[in-house]
Amino acid sequence: MSGETHTGSVVDAGIIAQFIKCNTEKKLHLYFNGAEKKHRWDDGSINWITHLNGTDRQGGCLNRNGVANCAVVDVDRVVEEKEFCKICYTIDKRIVPFKSTSGRWHAWLFYPKDLPVEEIRKEILAIEKKFIELYGDDVDVGKTQPAVSGLVGIIFPFATDVQYPYSPQGNKLTFDQFKFKVTYQRHPLVAIAAGLKEPGRHDTLVLIASYLEKKGKMDLLDDVVAAMHKFEDKAYIKRIKEKEIHKKYDVGVDAIQRCLAKIVKHETPTEKKRFLPYDEYLESISGSMQPAAPAIDEPLGDSAPPDGEPLKPLEIFEHTGLEKITKRPWMMFGMLLVAALTLVVGQPGVGKTMLLHMLAYCVCTGNPFFGRDVEVRGNVLGLFGEETSNESDIRWAACAQKLGKNDGKYKLFKRGLEHELKLVKFTKEAAAATQQYKELELAIKENNIKYIFLDPLINYQTGSFDENSNQNMDAFIKHYLIPLAVKMGGAIIAGHHTNKLSMVTTQDKELIVDNQNALMAARGASSLIGAARFVLALQPMTKKLWDAHFVEHVEDGSNFVHYSGLIEAKSNYNMIAADITWLKKETVDIPTIDGGHESTGMYATTELNKITKAKNKLKAAKNLAWCRSQFNHIQRLFSKAGDDADEITLNSIVTELVPLEADFSDDNVPESTIKTRVRRKLENGFSGKEERKDGLQSEGVECDDGYNYWIKRSYGKTGAAKVYMTRFIDFKRKNNSTAQGAA
């Protein structure tokens, strides 16, 4: 390859990959056997970096499982640049002509989004026909893409210094000019600026400015100037910006047509040879086209005819402070909300499916769910992909025994593993609703479903789905599952597996719930947690926790394998509980039709919650007492900082207090261990609220010097939060003391 490449940028490679999406299973290679040009097909997707730098010229098939976002006609004839580009522009203003590797021509179209191949074929075959009228057999109809079937390939552009895109004038376009042209292809008067040389630049620029003025987009004028070929008449640009000379021009269809015809030197729109007049072209794409690639924004919006109704500002709504606020549509406070996703996550075997059956029973029957009231009852559809329908019958029969009666007002529906169900099909490029998804929509409407339970979540997709892909997971949740909740005016509840990440730990014999670990334990893409409004996590009891905190208090013969902890990991609308709810697995016998019985598990609340709360309360009281005993040291540090100081770093207090600890002189105890313990005591003791005698609560801890002391965190844009001890005067208490003294 000789000359320079179009671009070596990885970012640009990503943009090109969005403009030209192709089959990722096979790629076409161009190579030479002596002077003879050869092609071969290999497995795998195109490597745009090696293609762009010319070391491995590649191509492929534009049909991606029935959809495409670009099209091309191969004209295998040497034609002078200005002539061919004028012909392309006459046929269709959107065509971008590229030289092929042999110096002939490829005429490309770029679409704003994936469209069915059949739809694109109708348009590209009409364009192919126009080229055949001009060039006959030199149009290689076998390479017109996208093809309906078969692996039809073509070498992609940008690989060599020959394969440049061209402007309608027949001038080579830089990569940035190419992006500009395709971005504004719905606005031909703007797009014509890409690579524009004389004649007509000044007249064109003033007309473009008039057009932008109508669109309310004069801020794009500098981009237009930059897209032209070295337009350096700053005085003329200043006349447009400051003297507004463009405002006297009426930019209608005829004016635009005359301007474009002058630039390109093609026939006027009244002549019969014209393939698609500009006004018809606008009408054909109005309201349907978007920018040609996600990497390029479409700043001008919808392409209404320039001489039609002017665009109106987007409607926005003022908050006045006088609005009547409505309640959130809770279905179960803090856990289930209309049009929202709730996740229940946990390790395999921890009891997610059991818990989901219990929750499903409660929202149908109205029985409380571990102390939470059901705000909205409704019909339930349980989709349990790893259980048979009979297993759901057993579990719900157990719920009737343990949770409360079912009055039959609402119904429990089900599908089990014997009823295969796939809702979304993924390919490497896109996702689409299956026929069963559409059938589910009808079933929801017909049976007035309010709750759908999916367990496990990822069981209900098919194809090339990657649970670690944010793009895949985001599409699955936001484009398909949550819309179901919106349509039914209800909630989606899904079970999902976690990584083996501990959610509960012990420090200095204190049981600590790590809500952040519970939140991040869900396996796969982070977008799943982002899309869920509520996350509940199940943590199995470990032998270490059992021995450290509970074994001496339990006398019913159970052990750690019978217990799991329920943790509120996320709620977008209320504070999550800091405590863990320990649940015990109990066995329930269910009669069968042959006179026998089957056993299943059910969760029940336990006394362990009281033990945990009592221990935490005792620990908190000890921490608070210890913190109070350190007030004289803390006050001294504030005095050193000055009378006006209202905060000092927590680290300075830790440094002061560590030498006072009893084990500081013990060489067997690392100083870092003591620092950690002291810091945790200070944070636990000073972080909460204190109950006052008047029944109110005050931040932090009161001291006799008239101040309240508490912990404050300052979060910067980067790095860890800085932690301070803060004090402020409790004016209410101080004023009360002053009044009593005066009396």
pLDDT digits (tens, 9 = 90+) for 53-71: 778 889 999 998 889 999 9
Strands 534-540 and 341-346, bridge-based pairing: parallel
Q: At what angle do helices 10-19 and 175-183 cross, to 10 degrees?
A: 40
Task: Report how far residue 29's alpha carbon sits from residue 154's, in angstroms, rounded to the nearest whole number.
Answer: 9
pLDDT at 271: 35
Smallest CA-to-CA distance from 647 within 707, 705, 712 is with: 712
Strands 105-116 and 67-75, bridge-based pairing: antiparallel
Task: Report how far residue 518's alpha carbon sits from residue 515's, in angstroms, rounded to the nearest whole number.
Answer: 5
Q: What is the mean pLDDT of residues 111-116?
A: 88
pLDDT at 473: 92
pLDDT at 230: 87
Q: Where are the alpha helices (DSSP H) in 92-238?
A: 117-135, 175-183, 188-191, 201-215, 221-227, 234-238
Task: Report how far residue 456's alpha carbon sits from residue 458's, in angstroms, rounded to the nearest whole number.
Answer: 6
- The more confidently predicted of residues 188 and 75 is 75
pLDDT at 2: 39
How many helices and strands (H and E) does the chain possess? Answer: 24, 29
- Tokens 């393939």 sit at which residue? 275
Lowest model confidence (mean pLDDT) among 113-117, 234-238, 553-557: 553-557
Q: Is 9 helix (H, G, I), strand (E, B) or coil?
A: coil
Q: What is the mean pLDDT of residues 332-357?
A: 94
- The more confidently predicted of residues 526 and 149 is 526
Instruction: Label residue 618 by pLDDT band (50, 70, 90).
Output: low
Question: What DSSP letter does each residue of 311-347 carry, written as one string?
Answer: P-PPP-----S---PPPP-EEETTTEETT-EEEEEE-
Q: What domains can you pick out in the chain, each with its CATH number?
A: 1-166 (3.90.920.20), 175-281 (no CATH), 330-502+513-541+562-606 (3.40.50.300), 630-742 (no CATH)
Task: Report how far residue 277's alpha carbon sits from residue 437's, in angstroms, rounded to the nearest whole number.
Answer: 42
Instruction: Label residue 29 by pLDDT band (50, 70, 90).
Output: confident
Phi and psi angles of residue 350, each rounded to the nearest 5 degrees, phi first: -75, -20
pLDDT at 4: 53
pLDDT digits (tens, 9 = 90+) for 492-521: 999 999 876 677 766 656 666 766 777 777
Smallest CA-to-CA distance from 332 within 364, 288, 300 is with: 364
Instruction: Label residue 264 by pLDDT band (50, 70, 90).
Output: low
Smallest CA-to-CA distance from 493 within 464, 460, 526, 452 is with: 452
pLDDT at 546: 87
Smallest CA-to-CA distance from 18 within 91, 53, 70 is with: 70
Please say if the pLDDT value at position 617 is more than 70.
no
pLDDT at 621: 73
> Please, what's the b/e burial string for 99-136 (b: 16 or more CB within 10 A of its CB; e: otherwise)?
bbbeebbbbbbbbbebbebeebbebbeebbebbeeebe
- Tokens 């409407």 sit at which residue? 445
Of the ranges 103-107, 229-233, 353-357, 653-657, which is most confident?
353-357
Contact call for residues 609 and 581 (beta carbons, < 8 A):
yes
Please say if the pLDDT value at position 224 is more than 70.
yes
Phi and psi angles of residue 713, each rounded to the nearest 5 degrees, phi first: -110, 135
- Tokens 């100083």 sit at which residue? 671
Strands 26-33 and 58-60, bridge-based pairing: antiparallel
Alpha-carbon distance values, 736 to 38, 81, 484 (Å): 95, 91, 58
pTM of the model: 0.49
Element (H, E) at 116: strand 105-116
Q: Which residues pair with 379 in a beta bridge?
A: 449
Task: Report how far residue 475's alpha carbon sits from residue 676's, in angstroms, rounded to the nearest whole number.
Answer: 43
Q: Which residues pair with 722 in a beta bridge?
A: 714
Q: Is 366 helix (H, G, I), strand (E, B) or coil?
A: coil
pLDDT at 268: 40
Element (H, E) at 740: helix 731-742
SS in 3 state form for 393-405? HHHHHHHHHHCCC
Tokens found for residue 218? 């004069």
In terms of phi and psi (left: phi > 0; alpha: psi -120 to 50; beta: otherwise), the region of 642 is: left
Contact call for residues 160 and 101 (beta carbons, < 8 A):
yes
pLDDT digits (tens, 9 = 90+) for 682-713: 877 776 554 444 444 445 788 877 788 888 77
Q: Is 126 helix (H, G, I), strand (E, B) or coil?
A: helix
Radius of gyration of the chain (CA): 35
- The more confidently predicted of residues 727 and 151 is 727
Instruction: Label residue 367 by pLDDT band (50, 70, 90).
Output: very high
Task: Report how far residue 541's alpha carbon sits from residue 550's, in angstroms, rounded to the nearest whole number.
Answer: 10
Contact call for residues 106 and 75 (beta carbons, < 8 A):
yes
pLDDT at 254: 61
pLDDT at 108: 94
Phi and psi angles of residue 459, each rounded to the nearest 5 degrees, phi first: -70, -15
pLDDT digits (tens, 9 = 90+) for 394-426: 999 999 999 999 999 999 999 999 999 999 999
Task: Report how far residue 503's alpha carbon sits from residue 348's, in angstroms, rounded to the nearest whole number.
Answer: 15
Task: Report how far residue 172's alpha carbon sits from residue 189's, in angstroms, rounded to the nearest whole number.
Answer: 18
Lowest model confidence (mean pLDDT) among 259-268, 567-576, 587-596: 259-268
Task: Report how far residue 743's alpha carbon sits from residue 739's, in angstroms, rounded to the nearest whole number.
Answer: 6
